[in-house]
Amino acid sequence: MAHLGRIRLFVRTIRTFMVNLKRHLPSQYESLGTLVLRYDKKSDGAFAVKPTESAKKLVELGDYSFLLLERFKDDVAVTGMASYKHLVRLFSEQCIVETDDNGVKAVIKANKDVSSSSLQNPSDPDAGYSGHKGKGYQMQVMETWSRDKSQPNLITHVKVESADTSDTQAVLPAITDAAERGLAPAELLADSLYGSDDNIEQAKEQGVTVISPAMGTESGTISLADFRFSESDELISCPEGKNPIRIKTGKQGGRIVHFDRDVCDQCPLKSECPVRRVKRSATIRYDAKALRLARRRRAEKTETFKDAYRFRAGIEATMSDLDRITGLKKLRVRGMPQVRLAATLKAAGLNIHRATVFRKRCTKPEKGRKHAENDSAGLVGAVKEHFLLLSGELRTFLEQFSPDGSRLWRMYHQQLNA
């Protein structure tokens, strides 16, 4: 999918509308008279402008879009056209309508006010935009892994979504989807974007431990986790062993803990301690979420966490395989349904490839390794053509490599360009 700036996006959308209008409703097209001329040409070069003139050009394009929309808004035959609907969407996402002494006019929105879910290209209205990932689609991928490589790493969940969709929302649907197929993981390794406190707590309710670093960093060397708490998470003493003089419940819930300010002023840790001087006491506020976050950050520094989490990086190899072996990053289809189907088939193909390599490796530990690679490459090609016919046999085949023995999964996203 071509990357279009705002000017080219307007031009392409208007031109697509014009082409379809001319083809399907020639009388309405003819009624536009000379208005159609500039947008009838195929080259976008006619709209190339200096950066200093781009704002003026955008205004011109916004005005022209508004004119077209107003002209045909009561023509049912035109408003039913997909290209007209794209123009309506583009205009509503990129412009606002204002009224002044001269009447009604279109005003171009500032860049920051245009949503990342806005139309990116009229040829693929389902594609979105992410400042980090770019334009197009992304695929959430979850796979199994085993420490001792006793099982192949198999993809157990894929979800294709617009590139503007936040990764934060991906974890729970992935777990639910896998659980519905009897494949719920016991542990899930994921990067920090997936590891919000809400995700971790809700995954825990489903029996899944999400291992992920917490977002953000601690401001000082002493944190809430360095205070001592009872089993019911009531604060007992500070890192210097001093007891609170008063504990209150805050208006929003949580606890407000007061220490003796005179004691804190003499404390050697006062410059690093997170308590705040308020009037005659030094206080610290916390709730269950803040405490969990502080404990996670402290746990991240332990060797236990580092040893468990280092296996997350293994999914980068899966992303690389999806790109290198199946060509996932450059799909030759457009639209969410087609992109979703193509990406899912490629993930299934990679599973077959891996399962084949693994089985050959088990039966012919050394000599068979190279042949296994070649055999599986051919198999992936066959899957592209005959996946539906083979689905029954495929399921039986993959069941030999059920992840139940491992129960360890990891998750990441892959950027797609249709």
Residues that bind ligand SF4 (CB under 6 A): 238-240, 242, 259, 263-264, 267, 269-270, 273, 275, 282
Is 75 or 218 the residue whose CB approaches ligand SF4 more closely? 218
Is 197 or 226 the residue whose CB approaches ligand SF4 more closely? 226
User: How many CA within 13 A on the CB side of residue 33?
Assistant: 1
Is 195 or 244 the residue whose CB approaches ligand SF4 more closely? 244
- Minimum Å gap between C-beta 270 and ligand SF4 is 4
What is the Cα–Cα distance from 122 to 16, expressed in whole angstroms? 8
Say if CB 106 and CB 77 are below 8 A apart.
no
- Among 104, 141, 155, 111, smallest CA distance to 129 is for 111
- Minimum Å gap between C-beta 198 and ligand SF4 is 30
Degrees to nearest 5, angle at CA 129 with 123 and 134: 100
Length, in residues, of the chain: 418
- Minimum Å gap between C-beta 306 and ligand SF4 is 28
Is 221 or 400 the residue whose CB approaches ligand SF4 more closely? 221
Is 36 or 263 the residue whose CB approaches ligand SF4 more closely? 263
- Minimum Å gap between C-beta 251 and ligand SF4 is 23
User: What secondary structure does DSSP assign to 147-193, as a single string?
Assistant: TT--S---EEEEEEEETTS-GGGTHHHHHHHHHHTT---SEEE--GG
- Minimum Å gap between C-beta 257 and ligand SF4 is 9
- Minimum Å gap between C-beta 279 and ligand SF4 is 15
Which ranges of 41-131 does DSSP label H, i.e. alpha helix?
54-72, 76-79, 82-94
| Structure-token match 């770019």, residue found | 134
Question: DSSP state, 89?
Answer: H
Which ranges of 285-335 does DSSP label H, i.e. alpha helix?
288-300, 303-309, 315-324
Is 130 or 283 the residue whose CB approaches ligand SF4 more closely? 283
- Among 409, 415, 352, smallest CA distance to 378 is for 352
Is 259 or 412 the residue whose CB approaches ligand SF4 more closely? 259
What is the Cα–Cα distance from 28 to 209, expressed in whole angstroms? 61
Say if CB 32 and CB 19 are below 8 A apart.
no
Is 129 or 259 the residue whose CB approaches ligand SF4 more closely? 259
- Minimum Å gap between C-beta 299 and ligand SF4 is 21
- Minimum Å gap between C-beta 238 and ligand SF4 is 3
